[in-house]
Structure 1
Amino acid sequence: VLRRAKPDRLFIEPSGMGHPGGLFDVLSGEHLGKTLELRATIALVDMTEVAQRGELFHSEAFRDQVHCADVVVGARADVASTSDVEAFQRWAVDELYPAKSHVTTIAHGALPLDILDIACGPTAPAPLLSVHRVAAATAAMAAGGGGGMGPLGSVPIPMVVVPGRPQRVLGGTSEFKTAGWVFSREDVFARPRLTALFEALASEPRVKRFKGVMRVGAEWVMPIVQVEAGRANGVRVKLEPIAYRRDSRLEVIVMVSSSAGNEEGACNE
């Protein structure tokens, strides 16, 4: 199609074409990457399905399509209830990681064309945290709520990232300090070292939450923390494949004492 028609813009609806991340890899790879300029990948989501959280919501295909997308659009606003829309917004804004470049809703299938040109490169992690969100996550962990993988949130501020030179964003409050690193999608990490890093973070009492998506070889992975009584530090980190492809990133929240000094020193520690 590209050679024959030479289109100004080519739309690809990938259903039935395999893994979304794999398709992204092909389109941005050695052969097509120099010919194509990839714009925003859009996931069109039925808001009533998200609210119900049924079989489709939990399917691997749905999860991969959403993770690969830069933009998530909640469809059927004309028939969705107020609670459906609120459930979609909580999921799309607070639960999805990494944060999307844009989240919106549409009615009657009317998708604004300007969505096609939304910036879709790396974005900066949020420099400041919601105190109540961190406190709630800490309380949930104290009650046995899991391995510190709650939502951190991001703001869609574009940033330039070059290979080998990650961007860092620091922030926090008087009680919690945060650090976020964004790496070029060309940076490739070693699986054993990543696993060791994440297990060290998971077993450090001062680390209250962390999240990451990192490139390992030809795929991207996300750390999943599991409690394992037989291990010395009590935790095991499993690196699960994820369809996200735009960059690699790590975000950490650390609890600090009043004597810990400035936020940069606390995060470096």
Structure 2
Amino acid sequence: MTLPTNSAEPNAGAQGMSFKAAPAKKLSVHLVTGFLGAGKTTLISRWMAEKPVDERWAILVNEFGQIGIDQTAWAGDDVFIQEVAGGCICCLQNMPLQLALGKITSRGDIDRLIIEPTGLGHPTQIIETLQEAHWQPYLSLAASVCVLDARMLNDARVREHETFIAQVAVADVLLFSKADVLSDAERITANEFAAELSPAKALVAFVEPESSCIEALSVAAKPPKQQRRSLLHAPVIVALSPRLDGVSAEQAAQAKLPPYHYHEPAQGHFIGGWILPASWCFCHDELLTELMSWRDAERVKGVFHTDKGWIFFNATALDLAIRSSEYRSDSRVEIISPIDLDWALREQRLLACLIAATA
């Protein structure tokens, strides 16, 4: 069985912006950054479990690839999810971010917005967008949080990476995730790393399994920097309406109908993924054996319908997480790799784990 490669996407054009009256209360916005596998999604899930019952939250999640996986982690939660897949929201003049912000602010029922960009996303441009004058009546930039796996500090490729440096620099709060698996030496390295930062962070903490560190959201954000730009660098203004060239957001989200596969080079990496119908059922044990053999990649993340129930799978070079999932719309998986892969062979081996593949 071979899946069709479908790269056709609806063209998204911007309409003129027509602002509504400014709301009585601004929406608090938190940027949550962190390198691939740092634990951003897990931390946000813990926050949602402890959020005030009288607050309505939204999450804007940006996936590096074309297939959204992180949004499946919050299936069933009372939270509005806005997904931006197929690239980094810090690129392309921030058009995807502008459109997503327009849709969220037009709802009028959101109290707090958490933006989770891809682990390879540079945060500076995102913050500049949030500080643009046309968003000020609607948004209040709150504490920015950087989630960091302290074990990564021993990897020079991470510690010296421009994006990693920028993620740490813009953060008001630095949270070291997965504290329960850190050695004493790794904790010392983490504390020394944080102590050397200038200016010092408002909050530095280790996230233990029983803690969410939700107090990070109450930290005061740094005063915004003055933005000096030429007229040629004026921001692109987009409509608050969620409709693009007559195509609704709902219709756009259905563009990648299963079975679907893609792969492409992006930002020095190779990325690919599959979306399969929800009715297709995998043999649980065979599937996990196959996915475990894919850990040569930097990240493998997916959700699957198996004969032992729906599961969420997330693996990096350092960590592995497998748990049940409430997501039921389809099975999907995405791979980020430093080298190009034999995608046809991966697909063949993935489909060999199927028990049933009926439409």
TM-score, length basis structure 2: 0.33
Q: Which has the higher contact order (CA 8 A, sep 6+)?
A: 2
